[in-house]
Amino acid sequence: MSKPDGTSYQKYLPRIDEESRGYWEALARHELHVQRCRDCGAKRFYPRALCPVCLSAATEWVRASGRGTVYTFTVTYQNQAPGYRDALPYVLAVVDLAEGVRLMTNVVDCAPEAVRIGMPVEVLFEDVTPEVSLPKFRPA
């Protein structure tokens, strides 16, 4: 795979499947969406066809504000996998979205040592292939 700028992208690319296509298509438009069950109202992340709370298939997408706070994080100093080893150190984080779900991400655009739990962050979109944009976060 090559990035839009033609360089090779070595990190893991997500598999876009029938359960998650809407999520990835929204990200490619630089929008972050979560799912909400139209029967029981539960929001869920990651996206899947049936609501795990009530098993309803009636689902709607809700566009997230992109604002959140850091729930937890780790500064990664060692990862031998291609792509990641060239990006060390990087911040792996779990972010609480304002919409009430948690997702794994990276906190970027700041010194890794500056990241704190509870820090307000906002989404940005990293275009890694023509089909895949990843939701990452920076200090808000």
Partner 1 sequence: MSIWRKTAVVGAYEHPTRFAPHMTPFQIHAESARGALADAGLTIRDVDGFFTSGVGPIGIMSLAQHLDLRPCYLDAQSIGGSSFVSHCLHAAAAIAGGLCAVALVTYGSTAASERFAIGTGGSFATEPPDHFEAPFGPTIVGSYALVAQRHMHEYGTTSEQLAEIAVTMRRHASLNPHAKYRDPITVEDVIASRMISSPLHLLDCCMISDGGGALVLTSAERARDLRKPPVLILGGAEAVRHGEIGTRDLLDVAAFQSGPLAFRRAGVTPGDVDMCMVYDSYTITVLTTLEGLGFCPRGEGGAFSAGGRIGLGGALPVNTDGGGLSSNHPGMRGIFLVIEATRQLRGEAGPVQVRDAHLACVHGTGGMLGQRHSGVTLILGGT
Residues that bind partner 1 (CB under 8 A): 11-15, 17, 19-20, 34, 42-46, 48, 52-53, 71-81, 84, 87, 90, 92, 94, 100-106, 117-118, 128, 134, 136
First to last CA, the chain: 31
Helix (H, G, I), strand (E, B) or coil at 5: coil
109 alpha-carbon distance from chain centroid? 16
CB of 43 to partner 1, least distance (A): 7
CB of 134 to partner 1, least distance (A): 6
CB of 85 to partner 1, least distance (A): 9
| One-letter amino acid of 18 | E
Q: Closer CB to partner 1, residue 88 or residue 140?
A: 88
CB of 105 to partner 1, least distance (A): 6
Q: Residue 128: what are its φ and ψ, rounded to 5°? A: -105, -25
Peptide bond into 46 cis (omega under 30): yes
Q: Closer CB to partner 1, residue 41 or residue 140?
A: 41
| C-beta of residue 79 within 8 angstroms of C-beta of residue 12 | no
In 3D space, the residue among 65, 64, 70, 63 whose CA is nearest the CA of residue 138 turns out to be 70
Q: Closer CB to partner 1, residue 96 or residue 139?
A: 96
Q: Closer CB to partner 1, residue 6 or residue 78?
A: 78
How far apart, in whole angstroms, are the C-alpha atoms of residue 82 and residue 15?
A: 18
CB of 60 to partner 1, least distance (A): 15
